[in-house]
Chains A and B, each alone.
Chain A
Amino acid sequence: MTKTIRIDGNTIPFEEGQTIIEAATAAGIYIPHLCHHPEFTPHGSCKLCTVKVNGRNCSACTFPAMEGQEILNDSQELQADRQKLTQMLFVEGNHFCPSCEKTGNCQLQAVAYHLNMLDNHFPHFYAQRELDASHAEVMIDHNRCIFCTLCVRASHEHDHKNVFAISGRGINKQLIVNAESGLLKDTDLEATDLAAHICPTGAILIKHTAYQVPIGKRIYDHQHIDQVSLALEQTDEN
C-alpha cells in the first residue's frame, strides 16, 4: 500500500525518505521556497517553505514526509507570513529591481510577485555591502545576497570545489570566497561552474550577458514561479 500525506485536503503519495517538499513537488503542488534545490542537501534557512504539519510549523524542505501528516500549505495565514519573510529579505539587503540586470529572471522577485508583495513593509537596513568585479567572467554583488547558500552547496556538491562560504553572525552575515586575497578572481571558480549560475537573486552574475535576453522576454515575465519551479524540479527529480 502506498503511504500518503494530505496537503490542503488533497491526499498525495510519498516514498520513504522523501521530505514534504519532495513529495509535494512530485504531486504537482508548489510550496514557495528560495534556499531549496532538489539537487542539493536541504538547508532550511529561508523559511519560506514553512508549512503547518499537524498544527506545528515545519520547514517542508527538511521535514520528512510521514504517514498521516495533515499539512496546511496554501493557507491565508501562511501566505501572509511568507510574504513578510520575503519582505525581510528585501529590506535586509539592497534590492532595486528596476535597475537590476536579473529582473524578470530573479526568483526572489518572482516569489514576491507570487506572494502578492506590494511593498517592503519593514524599514530598510541600508546595509553597506560591496561589489566584487575582480573575476573576468563572474561578479558578486553582495547587496543582493540572501544567504541561501545555494552557491556554497553547488560549488561543493556539484562542482567539487569549495569556492563560497557564509561567515559572520546575525545581521552581519557575509558571503566570502576561498582565496587568500578574498577576491573572486583568485578562486578556482569558472564561469561554467554550476555555482556561478545558481544564485536565485542577482548576487552572482555572469558578466557580459546582462541584456542578451531583453526585459519583457524573461522567464518570469510570462510565467509564474510556481509553474516554472514545478516544471524544472519535477524534471530534476526524475
Chain B
Amino acid sequence: MQTFVKNIAEENHNLATHLLRILHAIQARYHYIPEPAIEQLASSLNIARTQIIGVIKFYSFFHLTPRGRYELLISDSITDHLLGKEALTYYISQKLKVAVGEVRADGLVSLDNTSCTGLCDQGPAGLVNGLALPRLDRARIDQISELINQETPLEHWPSELFHINDHIIKPDLLLNHPITPGHALHSTFKRGITATLAELDFSGLRGRGGAGFKTASKWQYCRDEPETERYVVCNADEGEPGTFKDRVLLNSYAQQVFEGMTVCAVIIGAQKGFLYLRGEYLFLYDKLQNILTERRQLGLLGNNILNSGVNFDIDICLGAGAYICGEESALIESLEGKMGIPRNRPPYPVTHGYLDKPTVVNNVETFLAAAAIAHLGGDWFASIGTEKSKGTKILSISGDCARPGIYEYEFGTSIETILSDCGAEALLGIQIGGPSGLFISELELQRKLAFEDLATGGSFIVFNKHRNLLDIVNNFTHFFAHESCGFCTPCRVGTSLLKNQLAKIVDGHGSAGDVVALEELCALVKNYSHCGLGQTAANPIISTLARFPELYQSRLKNISYEPGFDLDAALETARQLANRNDAAAHLTQVEQD
C-alpha cells in the first residue's frame, strides 16, 4: 500500500490541492482510506492529518472503515421513491443478504443510500463503485447480485447495465443548433474581446444555476481585476434533486461547454480552467477527458490556441458526494482539496476565488449558451424570452409524467404548456427548482418560467394526486439535514431540528402549537443561515404549509400539548433487554380524549 499511495501522491505532484483526487484513487483501490495512508499523505503532501480526516468525513464517498469490494448505493431522491425505490432496496437487501448501511460479513458487498444521482428520468438508480446504474428493477437486481456473488469485475459486466439515455424530448434554440468545435473561438478572435463581451451583454444571458447573475457583468468584473492570475470554473456539481440536464449536456454537448469555458478564458485572460464534475457522474469522466485531448489536438486548447497566442487548458476535478459543493465558494474550497464549506462573502469569487485569485464560476448551461452567443451574436439569443429573462432554459423533467427527460423552453412559457408537453395528469403539484425551490399547486399553472416569476436551475418534478405530500416534504427535509455542511448554527442544528419537528407532526405526535413551532423554526433557518443551502432548506415546508395548511393540521392530535420526548420509544432498549413487547411493557404518555 505504501508504494501505491506514494505513486498516487507523486502522480499528483504531492499537491495538497489534489487531495480529493488522491483519496478517490485510494478509496477505489482499498474501498476505504486506511490510517497508514492518512499518515503517509500528511507527510508527503505536508498537511495536517486532521485536514485529511476532515475531508474524508466530509464527503459521502470517502470512508474511514472498509466498504464492500462492491459498494452499492441506491439513490434516495424523491424521484427514485416515486419509481419504487423503497421496495427495491428491500429486495436488494434480501437478495444480497446485506442490511442497508452495512457491509456483508464476507466484505464482498455493502449497501447504502445516497443523495440524488441525477438519473431521475431513468430510475430507480444506483451506483456500484461510483458508476451509475440506471433503471433498476428486480430482473436487473437478480443479474447484478449474481455478478457480485461471482465476483465478476465491473469491466466484464454487461454494458447495458450502465447505459444511460439522454432523453432529449424537446430541443429548441440551443439543443437544436450545436456549434461546430472552434467556431465560437474563431468568431471571438475575429470580433475582438470587447466586442464579444458587448454581444454577451446584449444577449442578456444570466447564470443558469438559478441565481441569475448577468454573465457579461461577471466576466467583465473578473477581467477588470488587477490580479492577472485568473481562473475559469465550470460548475458541474449538479446536485439539486431532480436535476440532470448538465449530465446530458456533458454527455452530448461537451465540446460546446468546453468551448464556452475557453471563450471565457480568452475574455477574462485566464490560463487555467476546471470542470468540477460531481462524483455521481464518474461514468462521464473518461469520455470528457478524451474530448479535452481531442480539443488539444485541434488547437482549441493548450498553448497558442488557434495561433492567437492565448494559452488555456482545462482540468477535470471529481466531487465526492456533497451537495453543498454546488455552492460556488464551497466548490472552490473543494477544488483546493478541502472540505466544501462556503466562504464568508465579501470577498466574492470574482475577486478572490480559486487560490484567492479572480475566478469566474458558471453553470454548464451558461457556458453552453455563452459559446453559442460568442459565435452567433447576442441578438440571436435576446430576440426570444421575456424582458428580464432572455433566451431559453433547459429543464430536467421527471416524476409523474408520461415523458420524463430534457426539455428546452423559451423563457416566459407557462407551466401549463410544459405540463401538457411532458404528459402530466391528475396533478397534485410541481416542485420547481428542486427541494430548494418552490412547490406550486394546480392552481398556479398560469405562472411563467422566468427570473421574474419562477426562477429555476432546471429541476422540475411532477407529482400526481395519489402522492402523499408530507412524504415528499419529509424526503426533502431529510436531504437538507444530511447535506448541511454544519458550519453555521442555524443550518447545522436547525435543519436537524426541522427534520425532527416535521417527523413529530407527520408521525401523528404533533399538537396545536407544533405547526407554529415549525413555522418559527423555518424562519430562523431561512433568515440566519450562512449560505443558500440553509437559506432554502425550509422551502419545502414553507411552500407546502402556505398551500396546504389543512394537510398539516389534519395530522395534529386534539390536545394542547404533546412533549417532543417520546417516553415509550425511550423504553425500547429496556424492552429489548427484558425480551418483552407485550402491552404492559408500553405506556401512553398523554391520555387522549
Q: Is B153 an interface residue (CB 8 A)?
A: no
Q: Which residues of B contact A102 (CB under 8 A)?
A: none
Cβ contacts A36-52/B at 8 Å (1 or 0 each): 00000011111110100
Cβ contacts B514-543/A at 8 Å (1 or 0 each): 000000100010011110000000000000
Q: Is A222 an interface residue (CB 8 A)?
A: no
Stretch touching chain B among A110-118, A133-141, A175-183, A213-221: A175-183
Cβ contacts B381-423/A at 8 Å (1 or 0 each): 0000000000000000000000000000000000000000000
Q: Is A160 an interface residue (CB 8 A)?
A: no
Assess whether A170 is in contact with B528, with CB atoms less than 8 Å apart: no
Cβ contacts B133-176/A at 8 Å (1 or 0 each): 00000000000000000000000000000000000000000000
Measured in the bound complex, the distance between the Cα atoms of B133 and A223 in whole Å is 63
Q: Which residues of B contact A165 (CB under 8 A)?
A: 48, 50-51, 53-54
Assess whether B486 is in contact with A47, with CB atoms less than 8 Å apart: no
Q: Is B484 an interface residue (CB 8 A)?
A: yes
**A81 with B524, Cβ < 8 A, contacts A44-B530, A59-B344, A165-B48 known:** yes
Classify chain B's interface size. Answer: 35 or more
Q: Is B489 an interface residue (CB 8 A)?
A: yes
Assess whether A85 is in contact with B524, with CB atoms less than 8 Å apart: yes
**A172 with B486, Cβ < 8 A, contacts A89-B493, A122-B497, A167-B57 known:** yes
**A45 with B489, Cβ < 8 A, contacts A57-B528, A165-B54, A166-B54 known:** yes
Q: Is A171 an interface residue (CB 8 A)?
A: yes
Partner among B51, B493, B528 whose Cβ is within 8 Å of the Cβ of A81? B528
Which B residues from 3 to 53 make CB contacts under 8 A with A? 35, 39, 48-51, 53
Task: Tell which of A92, A164, A165 has the most Cβ of chain B within 10 Å.
Answer: A165
Q: Is A96 an interface residue (CB 8 A)?
A: no
Q: Is A194 an interface residue (CB 8 A)?
A: no
Q: Is B124 an interface residue (CB 8 A)?
A: no
Tell me the nearest residue of chain B to A178, going by C-beta.
B50
Partner among A147, A170, A180 whose Cβ is within 8 Å of the Cβ of B484? A170
Tell me the nearest residue of chain A to B56, going by C-beta.
A167
Cβ contacts B480-500/A at 8 Å (1 or 0 each): 011111111110111111001
Q: Which residues of A contact B486 (CB under 8 A)?
A: 147, 168-173
Assess whether A47 is in contact with B490, with CB atoms less than 8 Å apart: yes
Q: Is B346 an interface residue (CB 8 A)?
A: yes
Measured in the bound complex, the distance between the Cα atoms of B53 and A174 in whole Å is 11
**A162 with B489, Cβ < 8 A, contacts A44-B530, A125-B496, A170-B496 known:** no
| Chain B nearest CB, measured from A128 CB (Å) | 13
Q: Which residues of B contact A88 (CB under 8 A)?
A: 489-490, 493-494, 497
Tell me the nearest residue of chain A to B480, going by C-beta.
A170
Q: Is B58 an interface residue (CB 8 A)?
A: yes
| Chain A nearest CB, measured from B19 CB (Å) | 14
Q: Is A73 an interface residue (CB 8 A)?
A: no
Measured in the bound complex, the distance between the Cα atoms of B57 and A165 in whole Å is 12
Assess whether B48 is in contact with A180, with CB atoms less than 8 Å apart: no
Q: Which residues of B contact A122 (CB under 8 A)?
A: 493, 497
Classify chain A's interface size. Answer: 35 or more
| Chain A nearest CB, measured from B158 CB (Å) | 36
**A167 with B492, Cβ < 8 A, contacts A57-B527, A85-B528, A162-B48 known:** no
Assess whether B528 is in contact with A42, with CB atoms less than 8 Å apart: no
Task: Tell which of A81, A123, A125, A170 has the most Cβ of chain B within 10 Å.
Answer: A170
Q: Which residues of B contact A109 (CB under 8 A)?
A: none
**A47 with B54, Cβ < 8 A, contacts A57-B528, A169-B484, A170-B482 known:** no
Q: Which residues of A contact B501 (CB under 8 A)?
A: 123
Measured in the bound complex, the distance between the Cα atoms of B496 and A125 in whole Å is 9
Q: Which residues of B contact A174 (CB under 8 A)?
A: 57
| Chain B nearest CB, measured from A185 CB (Å) | 16
| Chain A nearest CB, measured from B571 CB (Å) | 15
Assess whether A176 is in contact with B524, with CB atoms less than 8 Å apart: no
Measured in the bound complex, the distance between the Cα atoms of B494 and A47 in whole Å is 12
| Chain B nearest CB, measured from A143 CB (Å) | 15
| Chain A nearest CB, measured from B211 CB (Å) | 16
Q: Which residues of A contact B485 (CB under 8 A)?
A: 169-170
Assess whether B564 is in contact with A123, with CB atoms less than 8 Å apart: yes
Q: Is A84 an interface residue (CB 8 A)?
A: yes
Q: Which residues of A contact B339 (CB under 8 A)?
A: 167
Q: Which residues of A contact B487 (CB under 8 A)?
A: 45
Q: Which residues of A contact B524 (CB under 8 A)?
A: 81, 84-85
Q: Is A26 an interface residue (CB 8 A)?
A: no
Assess whether A171 is in contact with B500, with CB atoms less than 8 Å apart: no
Q: Is A62 an interface residue (CB 8 A)?
A: yes
| Chain B nearest CB, measured from A100 CB (Å) | 20
Assess whether A64 is in contact with B346, with CB atoms less than 8 Å apart: yes
Q: Is A91 an interface residue (CB 8 A)?
A: yes
Assess whether B492 is in contact with A62, with CB atoms less than 8 Å apart: no
Assess whether A169 is in contact with B57, with CB atoms less than 8 Å apart: yes
**A46 with B488, Cβ < 8 A, contacts A85-B528, A171-B496 known:** yes
Tell me the nearest residue of chain A to B529, going by C-beta.
A47
Q: Which residues of A contact B346 (CB under 8 A)?
A: 63-64
Assess whether A171 is in contact with B481, with CB atoms less than 8 Å apart: yes
Q: Which residues of A contact B493 (CB under 8 A)?
A: 88-89, 91-92, 122, 171
Q: Which residues of B contact A84 (CB under 8 A)?
A: 520, 524
Cβ contacts A50-83/B at 8 Å (1 or 0 each): 1000000101001110000000000000000100
| Chain A nearest CB, measured from B313 CB (Å) | 32
Measured in the bound complex, the distance between the Cα atoms of B500 and A123 in whole Å is 9
Assess whether B481 is in contact with A170, with CB atoms less than 8 Å apart: yes
Assess whether B49 is in contact with A178, with CB atoms less than 8 Å apart: yes
| Chain A nearest CB, measured from B57 CB (Å) | 5
Measured in the bound complex, the distance between the Cα atoms of B50 and A125 in whole Å is 26
| Chain A nearest CB, measured from B146 CB (Å) | 35
Q: Which residues of A contact B51 (CB under 8 A)?
A: 165
Cβ contacts B497-512/A at 8 Å (1 or 0 each): 1001100000000000
Assess whether A47 is in contact with B489, with CB atoms less than 8 Å apart: yes
Measured in the bound complex, the distance between the Cα atoms of B524 and A202 in whole Å is 26
Measured in the bound complex, the distance between the Cα atoms of B530 and A42 in whole Å is 14
Measured in the bound complex, the distance between the Cα atoms of B493 and A124 in whole Å is 11
Q: Which residues of B contact A162 (CB under 8 A)?
A: 48, 50
Tell me the nearest residue of chain A to B340, going by C-beta.
A169
Q: Which residues of B contact A125 (CB under 8 A)?
A: 496
Measured in the bound complex, the distance between the Cα atoms of B524 and A167 in whole Å is 25
| Chain B nearest CB, measured from A37 CB (Å) | 15
Having A45-B530, A64-B346, A180-B39, one finds 15 other A-B pairs with CB under 8 Å, namely: A47-B490, A47-B528, A57-B527, A88-B490, A89-B489, A89-B493, A92-B492, A124-B565, A147-B486, A167-B53, A169-B485, A170-B483, A171-B484, A177-B50, A178-B48
| 8 residue pairs, one from A and one from B, having the closest CB atoms | A123-B564, A165-B50, A88-B493, A167-B54, A170-B484, A62-B344, A171-B496, A173-B486
10 A-B pairs in the complex with CB atoms less than 8 angstroms apart: A42-B344, A47-B490, A48-B489, A81-B524, A165-B54, A167-B339, A170-B481, A173-B492, A176-B50, A180-B39
Interface residues of A (CB under 8 A from B): 42-48, 50, 57, 59, 62-64, 81, 84-85, 88-89, 91-92, 122-125, 146-147, 162, 164-174, 176-178, 180
